Amino acid sequence: EQVIAYGKRLVESGLVQGTWGNISVRLDLDHMLVTPSGLDYQGLVPEDIVKVNIRTLKYESTRKPTTEKKLHQAILLARPECGAVIHTHSVNCSIYAAAGAEIPITGIELIKRFGGNVRCAAHALPGMSKLNQVALKALEGRNACLLQNHGVICCGSSLADTYELCELLEQAASIIAEDEA
């Protein structure tokens, strides 16, 4: 129910459009809950959320998990302190991702939350292992990264923490874009 609630919040806040973007939450040492592939967040019910084995990516569901399940797997395995991962296509962050540029982070509190400037991972096709590699590299010491030509990844201790990072990053990108306009 929390995954669905945050999925709806992503849509309502403009951080995702339609069925784009995805969420994963660490359930236990071996499992994650992920959003299904191709379904609108507004119509999701708890049975649509897919329980996936973090190590094998096997699942038992009539729904297919997000096509980005390998990316969520890679992050959750590499970052045991993370309890959730959210992938968005927010407008202002996507501008930076399209440009292959990092988002400067200022202010002590934001620097603590993000770990420094939010880097842009090199371009890689969605669903491919190269995307996992470049994302993990860009996430080193950080709680967010841009995926060149693809969007944003945020990871945090909880779903609430991770969602807040998504909002804060889009706000930072928006403020910079307004200042440069």
Catalytic residue numbers?
68
53: helix, coil or strand? Answer: strand
End-to-end CA distance of the chain: 40
**Residue 65 β-bridge partners:** 36
Closest CA to 169 of 98, 68, 94, 84: 94
Please state at what angle helix 129-139 crosses helix 69-78, rounded to 10 degrees. Answer: 40
Alpha carbons 21 and 90: distance in angstroms, whole number: 9
Closest CA to 70 of 129, 2, 139: 129
